[in-house]
Amino acid sequence: MTPSRFRFDRQVTLAVVVTVAIQAGGGLIWAGRASARIDDLQRRVESQGETAERLARLEEQVSAMRVTLERLERRLETGEL
């Protein structure tokens, strides 16, 4: 028995090429959308960094105000004012 050579039919080859092209196009579209989502998330994270910093400063200010308020309340209770 002689082994038969595997050969491609033109229609099968064209169908494979078209299928690969469509899948590649779909992959590029998916990658573009993923890139846009990542860019959007990066912008959000960058803007939240400033917000987090401001929030930390506000928390410190509130903490200092509490200490001052407690000190004033103690002074009022003891009649030092």
Rounded to 5 degrees, φ, ψ at 30 are -60, -45
Which two tokens mark 6? 């595997």
What's the start-to-end Cα distance of the chain, in Å? 114
User: pTM (2 decimals)?
Assistant: 0.47
pLDDT digits (tens, 9 = 90+) for 15-73: 888 999 999 999 999 999 999 999 999 998 888 888 888 999 999 999 999 999 999 99
